[in-house]
Structure 1
Amino acid sequence: MQWSDEGIVLGARKHGESSVILEVMTREHGRHLGLVHGGRSKTQQPVLQPGNSVQVTWRARLDEHLGVFQVEGVDLRASRLMAAPFALYGLATLSHLLRVLAERDPHQSLYEAVDLLVDHLDDPDLAPGLFVRFELAFLADLGFGLDLASCAATGQREDLVYVSPKSGRAVSAAAGEPYKDRLLKLPGFLIGRPTANRPSVPDLKAGFALTDFFLHQNVFEPRGQAMPAERVRLIALATAEDA
């Protein structure tokens, strides 16, 4: 068995004296593990850092085996990401979320979101909003996507300011007014195109609160798990008033 694919390093753990078991999110083969011989060498270690884009070739005698990776660096961005606290917590949170996915199940559209996010994790203007969008993409890929295109009550596409916690659909200001205390806020940056302008702190808080609700309800609570601790710190950094 053999295949080659592009991927993003999520993590690596020691195996034996000189090898590592590498975890990557690949475009065509999903989240995948493999053994890297000599992965703790001076030449390999910089390549196998979380956040780096790599080209991997996987080989195994049988498909169910762990297999062996041959890895080549493509974009070694880890060194610059390590200099940004938000990026470090972002990588940790991202990896935690992706480990919810079954190993080796392909998630091509989600891979695109991961690739875009990781490439901008050290951008203080783009990264916070992109992370909220990634979490929405993650929910959608698991089958819990939100419908933010039109009002659940009226069908109108303008003045959408709430989200129903029951249906996950947008609600207009007028339709939601009588129930606003029971609805989630919909920040404007989630229904427009991403821009280079950092969303306001209240909008970012609303965005993370929105994804937090549906991640807890649909992903972590059914598994008896808590939100990753790194995500709490990530949100604190993203919504600091002086950020």
Structure 2
Amino acid sequence: MQLRAPAIVCSSRPHGETAAIARLLTADHGIVAGYVAGGRGRQMRPVLIPGNSVEAELRARSASQLPFAKLELVQSRGPWLTEPLPAAAIAWVTALTSSALPERQPFPALYGALAGLLNAICFAPSARDWAMPLLSYETLLLRELGYGGPQHAPKEDDWQATLHALDAMGRRLDRYLLADRRGDVIAARGLLRERLGRIEG
């Protein structure tokens, strides 16, 4: 296996004393896991922030081997991690993507949608401007995985209806995608929902 492609960091976990295993979303290869040497060091930790856009190069001798990954930072989401709402939203959508998608199956629509959603979360004036795109991304992910999704979206100027739609979607995601996954994945959505609920309707 050998590939070089733009990617979005969806998760990173420690491996050994100094390395990390990153799960990356690419347009043509879907989720790909890679071994990042020095991933826990000062130089690479900022690169492996979930939500970051990177240029990824992955190499493995066989398709069954975990590839070695070299990552170059293209766009950092680090500056938004100090903002409670954007930080919670980025943590949720990347955790969902990393947990729900099977490895090495292309989902080009999801890659484009996630890139656009992350930009909206970081650059929109308020959470009201990206709550509907977040709901749309969750719906698209369900549909791409064959579970269908709600047909009617709430009006964008009805904040309470948006929150109700997010609650309903949360139940669908928990039932269909995350029921047998680690609890901290859906807990990330719970934290986001709690913070969105503090916005006055």
TM-score bracket, normalised by the shorter chain, equals 0.7 to 0.9
1:17 equivalent in structure 2: 17
Aligned match of 1:89: 88
In terms of Rg, which structure is larger? 1
Higher helix share: 2
Query: Letter of the aligned partner of 1:219 in structure 2?
Result: L
| Residue 66 to residue 91, structure 1, CA distance change in 2 (3 Å) | same
Q: Structure 2 matches for 1:101-120, cutoff 5 A?
A: 101-120=101-120
Q: Which runs of 5+ in 2 are unaligned?
A: none
Residue 134 of structure 1, aligned match among 131, 134, 137: 137
Name the TM-score, length of structure 1 as normaliser: 0.72
* Residue number in structure 1 paired with 2:155: 188
Distance 1:225 1:41 in 2: 26
**Structure 1 position 16, deviation (Å):** 2.5
Unaligned runs of 5+ in 1: 149-169, 171-185, 190-198
Q: Which residue is 1:161 aligned to? A: none
Q: CA deviation at 1:210?
A: 3.3
SS in 2 for 1:109: helix
Mapped partners of 1:48, 1:70: distance in 2: 11
> Relative CO higher for 1 or 2, CA cutoff 8 Å, sep ≥ 6?
2
1:64/1:224 CA distance change after superposition, 3 Å: closer
Asked whether the 8 Å contact 1:204–1:239 carries over to 2, the reply is no
1:143 aligns with 2:149: no
The answer to whether the aligner puts 1:205 opposite 2:163 as a matched pair is yes
Shift in alpha-carbon separation, 1:218–1:41, aligned structure 2, 3 A: closer
Shift of 1:238: 1.7
Q: How big is the shift at 1:220?
A: 3.6
The CA distance in 2 between the partners of 1:239 and 1:137, in whole Å, is 23
Q: Please provide the CA RMSD for this pair.
A: 2.2
Q: CA deviation at 1:63?
A: 0.8
Residue identity in the other structure for 1:4: R
- How far is the alpha carbon of 1:91 from its aligned partner? 2.4
Cα pair 1:28 1:107 within 8 Å, conserved: yes
> Which residue of structure 2 aligns with residue 196 of structure 1?
none
The TM-score, its normalising length taken from structure 2, stands at 0.86
Q: How many residues align?
A: 196
| Closer, same or farther: CA 42–209 of 1 in aligned 2, 3 Å | closer
- Partner Cα distance (2:86, 2:31) in 1: 20
Q: Residues 178 and 186 of structure 2 are in contact (CA less than 8 Å); yes or no, is this contact kept in structure 1?
A: no
2:35 maps to a residue whose letter is: L
Write the mapping of 1:1-243 to structure 2, written as runs, cut at 5 A: 1-76=1-76, 78-98=77-97, 99-122=99-122, 123=124, 124=126, 125-146=128-149, 148=151, 186-189=153-156, 199-221=157-179, 223=180, 228-242=186-200
Q: Which letter maps to 2:154?
A: P
The 3 A distance-change label for structure 1 pair 209 and 14 is closer
State how far apart, in whole Å, the 1-side matches of 2:149 and 2:31 are.
24
